[in-house]
Amino acid sequence: MKKFIAEFFRRGLVACGFGPLILAILYLVLHRQGVVQTLTVNEVCLGIVSLTALAFVAGGMNAVYQMERLPLMAAILIHGGVLYFSYLATYLLNSWLEWGVTPVLMFTGIFVAGYLMIWAVIYAVMKKRTARLNEVWKQKHHRAQE
């Protein structure tokens, strides 16, 4: 557990620097779309702190895949669950998502679809990479037997 916590903090600290950058891009896009014209000091501070915390958690949670005794499906569920609640809390806290059943259900659907698409891409890439490595290993093994 000590190893997980240390890795969580290391990864989180690396990622949390991107929080303010992501927030600046988000506010710039919202401004260009005419959604946000001005921001209060409180909105900016809350945005910076909450996005930095979100980036820290999102970056740190990747350490869950380093836990050797944790089955992959459990790691995926823990990772996805923590990210879901972190993103939902951040969006609600910053009023980027309205409180209510319909907005939360829409957010949930979009989050789950996006999470599944990302994992499908990761799975496809890893499967292809594994097949390639197996082929290289077979060729080397075959040459060694000759």
pLDDT digits (tens, 9 = 90+) for 96-117: 899 999 999 999 999 999 999 9
Residue 64 near residue 4, CB atoms below 8 Å: yes
Residue with tokens 């290993």: 137
Question: Do 27 and 76 belong together in one domain?
Answer: yes
Question: Do 31 and 93 belong together in one domain?
Answer: yes
Question: Do 82 and 129 belong together in one domain?
Answer: no
Choice among 6-10, 41-45, 90-94, 125-129 with the minimum mean pLDDT:
6-10
Question: Do 11 and 78 belong together in one domain?
Answer: yes
The per-residue pLDDT for 7 is 81
The CA distance from 5 to 74, in Å, is 18
Question: Do 77 and 15 belong together in one domain?
Answer: yes
Provide the whole-model pTM. 0.75
pLDDT digits (tens, 9 = 90+) for 53-71: 998 898 888 888 877 788 8
In sequence order, what are the residues at sequence separation of 6 or more whose Cβ sits closer than 8 angstroms to the Cβ of residue 60? 7, 8, 9, 11, 12, 15
The last residue of one of the domains, among 57, 80, 97, is 97
Output 11 or 112, whichever has higher pLDDT.
112
Q: Tell me the two tokens of residue 143.
A: 């040459």
Question: Do 93 and 121 belong together in one domain?
Answer: no
What percentage of the chain has pLDDT greater than the value 90? Answer: 34
Question: Do 36 and 90 belong together in one domain?
Answer: yes
Question: Do 27 and 67 belong together in one domain?
Answer: yes
Question: Do 33 and 21 belong together in one domain?
Answer: yes
Question: Do 128 and 104 belong together in one domain?
Answer: yes
Q: How many domains, in total, are found in the chain?
A: 2
Note down the domain range covering 54: 1-97
Q: Which of 33, 83, 78 is nearest to 56 (CA)?
A: 83
